Amino acid sequence: MYFKVNKVFQDKYQKMGMVNISASFYLEPEDEGYDKYVAEHYVDNKVIPKGGYLGKVNENDEPLDLNDYQDWYDSLPSEKVLNPFCTHFIQFEPNVTEEEILWCFEWALAITHKNYLKDDLKCKKGGQTVNQDIKYKSRKAYYTALTFIPNRNKSTKEQEDYKKVKNAEDKILELEKIKDWSSVKTTAKYKVK
């Protein structure tokens, strides 16, 4: 079992002082459930040439002749690709370390693998979903409200909280520079590739 960190996002969470990161989870031949995984996730994938579709397109790069596009797409060669069995998105505070990020994804990998074997990837924990929408909505409302308060009128805590937005932007730029997460210096070994 291993995971790959896919992307550090500049998105809605950044505007709330958080860093949103995704990682994909993969099984290896010696892992329990590998045969099921390969049967479900080893799929044909079209190989798109470097230039892409060369037919006529509009200003949004959408094909003008859909039949021509479909003929072109159908003629492309395919290759077998092993897709991840699951992809997770985790939001972190901007002071998170690279090792803490790896630890969280490794923890999620182990739990997700157990759930995968039970055919339950709904991320349930004690009958409730892990991603609680109410927390997101209240945090979003709080950070939106902070944008309307002039800095001189913000309390010290509100100023510190609002500073997290800038800190998240800085952290995202720092993390985007990591091209190979398996080379991150850590105190433990992680199942990251």
Looking at the structure, tell me whether residues 129 and 118 fall in a common domain.
yes
Give yes or no for a contact between 4 and 192, defined as CB atoms under 8 angstroms apart: yes
**Does residue 156 belong to any structural domain of this protein?**
yes
- When divided into structural domains, the chain yields a total of 2
Which helix (H) or strand (E) segment holds residue 7: the answer is: strand 2-9
Residue 4 token pair: 């790959």
pLDDT digits (tens, 9 = 90+) for 114-162: 888 888 776 544 444 455 556 778 888 888 888 899 989 999 999 988 8
DSSP per residue, 26-48: E--TTSTTHHHHHHHHEEEEE--
Looking at the structure, tell me whether residues 99 and 19 fall in a common domain.
yes
Which helix (H) or strand (E) segment holds residue 101: the answer is: helix 98-117
Residue numbers of the domain that contains 106: 2-27+86-183
Looking at the structure, tell me whether residues 59 and 137 fall in a common domain.
no
Candidate ranges 11-15, 16-20, 138-142; pick with highest mean pLDDT: 16-20
Looking at the structure, tell me whether residues 66 and 106 fall in a common domain.
no
The overall pTM is greater than 0.85: no
Which helix (H) or strand (E) segment holds residue 23: the answer is: strand 19-26
What region does 76 belong to: left with phi over 0, alpha with psi -120 to 50, or beta? beta
Looking at the structure, tell me whether residues 91 and 136 fall in a common domain.
yes
Percent of the chain with pLDDT over 70: 93
What distance in Å separates the CA atoms of residue 22 and residue 9, rounded to the nearest whole number? 8
Domain boundary among 84, 99, 133: 84
What phi, psi does 5 have (nearest 5°)? -75, 120
